[in-house]
Amino acid sequence: MTNKQLRHDDHSAVSPGRPGSGVFPDSPLGENIEGIPTGRDVEWEPLLDYRRNGVSETTIHGAVAWAHGDEVIHSFGGNVLCYGRSMMKPFMLKAFTEVLTDTTTWEQKAIAVASHNGDTEHIATAQSLLSEAEWPLMMTPLDVPLIQFGRQVRRPRRWYHTCSGEHAAILKGCRLLGHNRAGYTLPGHETFAGFLAALRSTLGKDWQPLRVGKDGCGLPTVSNTVNELALLYAGLVREKDDDWIWQAMVENPDLVGGFNRLDSTILKAGDGKVIAKEGADGLLGIAIEHPDYPKGLGIVIKIAHGWNGQATWYLARAILGTLGIELRNPYPLVRQKAFIVSGIVPPQLLEVLETIPTWDEWDPDQDRWQYDWSTYTDVHTPRVPPEED
């Protein structure tokens, strides 16, 4: 289908032939690009479902990958191609770890790899990375806090954006390295070159992304398969003592995300042996130091329909539970129960998975009547009056 066949309004400023129309897609059905499978081409697998009295009302599809060292040991739901988004912040900062080692506090290091809620402590820590005169250099979009309490009275500001700590750390690192800070969000900048170098240290020196997109904060994000993302997170375990990223995250979990955020909760539960990072549109990366996986274990969850914090939480609790790491349950579903699909873990862990409930004592079964309702149907069946002669 070409632009000429698109039924734009006659007065549309972006109808075919008008200036700027070329930045829009050619078809509402999407383009078929050779070598780049879309989500429609992937056989997503169910990961869990929400049931009301035994009937599935919602089924969450997605993909899960496990990597041990440089080997993918389990893949479920297809080797999906996606963007790593904010899950890749530890790798984006790899180019600046050395120069920021002695020039930042541990709190500043943690906010550098954060996708924070925009609480007061997050904003104060992010702002402390730069002098006030440098603040106008930061190019995050205007935003409001991600999780807000009470009445919304805040006007949008760049510092409230969930990625403001990362941007501030990059700007500080660029100044210390002598890089031009203008254009730091562009793929032609040294920042992006350092990001690619960090990925290639694990994926190979000849690795190239199939696509480079613009992330929600304006920085480049590259396409990776779920298997590649798991390999990268396994690499974080091997490199945990090479820089400050691991220690900064485990020492300051509430700066990485914030109140009731999944990655912050996993960091607290991991007792220094686990780091986790959420990514927009349904991503969770977990790097685990575990005696059964001496080369480093990386696990990535990708939700097909995009971000679903509660569903991802159930999956993370089940997966971590099979490895002996106890994660609390999220808030309960309303008269439903979540049930896990066995394929999210390797076969040898299935017996352990079957012992991990997706509910707690404060979350009883409220999706049914706890008596045999059928015994009352005859008593309460409305009587039909006899027909008149």
Domain extent, residue 143, equals 58-353
- Between helix 164-177 and helix 190-203 the angle, nearest 10°, is 100
DSSP 8-state class, residue 60: E
- Tell the residue number behind the tokens 């960090």, with chain if given: 198
In the chain, alpha helices (H): 89-92, 97-100, 106-112, 120-127, 164-177, 190-203, 226-238, 245-251, 253-256, 262-269, 309-322, 350-353, 377-380
3-class DSSP state for residue 247? helix
Hey, what are 346's tokens? 């390797």
Residue 47, in any domain of the structure: no
- Nearest Cα neighbor of 73 from 351, 312, 347 is 347
* Percentage of residues in the chain having pLDDT higher than 70: 94
Residue 36, in any domain of the structure: no
Least confident of 7-21, 255-269, 347-361: 7-21
Task: Quote the pLDDT of residue 384.
Answer: 67
Residue 132, in any domain of the structure: yes
Residue 321, in any domain of the structure: yes
Task: Quote the pLDDT of residue 32.
Answer: 86
Hey, what are 349's tokens? 């862990």
3-state helix, strand, coil in the chain (%, to 5): 35, 20, 45
The total of structural domains in the chain comes to 1
* Percentage of residues in the chain having pLDDT higher than 90: 76
- Nearest Cα neighbor of 228 from 210, 245, 213 is 210
Task: Quote the pLDDT of residue 389.
Answer: 58
Is pLDDT above 70 for 112?
A: yes
Residue 19, in any domain of the structure: no
Q: Give tens-digit pLDDT for 121-170.
A: 999 999 999 999 999 999 999 999 987 665 566 789 999 999 999 999 99
Tell me whether residue 338 is exposed, middle or buried, using C-beta atoms within 10 angstroms of its C-beta: 0 to 12, 13 to 18, 19 or more. buried
Tell me whether residue 140 is exposed, middle or buried, using C-beta atoms within 10 angstroms of its C-beta: 0 to 12, 13 to 18, 19 or more. buried
Distance CA 347, CA 29 (A): 38
Residue 45, in any domain of the structure: no
Task: Quote the pLDDT of residue 5.
Answer: 65
The pLDDT-based confidence of 211 (bands split at 50, 70, 90) is very high
> Which residues on neighbouring strands pair with residue 299, listed in sequence order?
66, 286
Task: Quote the pLDDT of residue 30.
Answer: 86
Residue 14, in any domain of the structure: no
Q: Give tens-digit pLDDT for 52-68.
A: 999 999 999 999 999 99
Hey, what are 158's tokens? 């760049």
Report the CATH number at residue 217.
3.40.710
Question: How many angstroms separate the Cα of 359 from the Cα of each of 78, 277, 363?
Answer: 28, 24, 6
Question: How many angstroms separate the Cα of 152 from the Cα of each of 147, 149, 223, 229?
Answer: 10, 8, 35, 36
- Tell the residue number behind the tokens 């959420």, with chain if given: 278
Q: What is the average per-residue pLDDT within 26-44?
A: 87
Task: Quote the pLDDT of residue 365.
Answer: 84
Is pLDDT above 80 for 16?
A: no
- Nearest Cα neighbor of 298 from 46, 59, 68 is 68
Q: Which amino acid is at 196?
A: L
The pLDDT-based confidence of 2 (bands split at 50, 70, 90) is very low
Q: What is the average per-residue pLDDT within 113-118?
A: 96
Residue 168, in any domain of the structure: yes
Question: How many angstroms separate the Cα of 385 from the Cα of each of 118, 301, 376, 381, 389?
Answer: 66, 60, 21, 13, 12
